[in-house]
Amino acid sequence: MRRACLILGILVLALVWLGPLLDGLRDSFSAHMLAHMGVVAIAAPLMAIGVPLGPTPGASRAFTLALPASLVELIVVWSWHAPALRVLAQSSLFVTAVEQVTFLAAGLFLWLACLPRRGSDTTGYAAGAFALLLTSIHMTLLGALLALTPRPLYGTGETSCFGIALSAQQDQELGGVIMLLVGAAVYLAGGVTLFARILATPPRKTV
């Protein structure tokens, strides 16, 4: 099961970086968002599930890993969607590559920090659930901001996404909706799943 998830995650990553998205990755914001969500919300969790994890760390370490990982994800995602950095990524293949590798690194860090390990207790589940739910919240905020902002933030010209002509405003709105439907939903599902494990874990008997 773990090996299958790891292989599937690598295949998704290869499809995103080497497939048809590559042509529109730097020109279309919605294509960029599809690639972004494919990396952090699909490939990263699959690869993290496929990585063998050691025994759970102590309760304090569980919090020190999961919560900073969520903060790193927030900083990386919001920074790369700042108009100045987005324009820089559009103009340079090298910067685009750095952007995508940063997305993968932040996504793997978060999912590896949040996924349950052998011997995880309710404290570890709580840390992971909180971090994933926090990430879902900031993904929702950014997606809503991009979808509802009344003016385009990333240029004014017409662009094409998979052969569909879009204005800059439409392209940005579609990208925001993709982040809401994929990113926010996946992190919310991960957080809710870990929270459900907390409820399903029998209380420890006290002597």
List the pLDDT tens digit at each of the 207 positions of the chain: 788 999 999 999 999 988 877 666 667 888 889 999 999 999 999 999 888 765 555 444 455 688 899 999 999 999 999 999 988 988 888 998 899 999 999 999 999 988 876 555 677 778 888 999 999 999 999 999 999 988 888 877 777 766 778 888 998 999 999 999 998 899 999 999 888 877 876 655 544
Strands (E), 117-188: 159-161, 164-166
The whole-number pLDDT of residue 164 equals: 76
Query: Looking at residue 23, what is its pLDDT?
Result: 66
Tally of residues, the chain = 207
Query: Rounded CA gap, 142 and 80, in Å?
Result: 12
Per the confidence metrics, is the pTM higher than 0.75?
yes
Domain segments of the chain as ranges: 2-200
Contacts of 86 (CB under 8 A, 6+ apart): 29, 32, 80, 153, 154
**Helix, strand, coil % (nearest 5) of the chain?**
75, 5, 20
Taking each helix axis from N to C end, the angle separating 59-80 and 93-114, rounded to the nearest 10 degrees, works out to 160
* Structural contact between residues 146 and 179, judged by C-beta atoms closer than 8 angstroms: yes
User: Any idea what DSSP says for residue 28?
Assistant: -
Residue 137 gets the label, from left (phi > 0), alpha (psi -120 to 50) or beta, of alpha
CA distance 192 to 22: 33
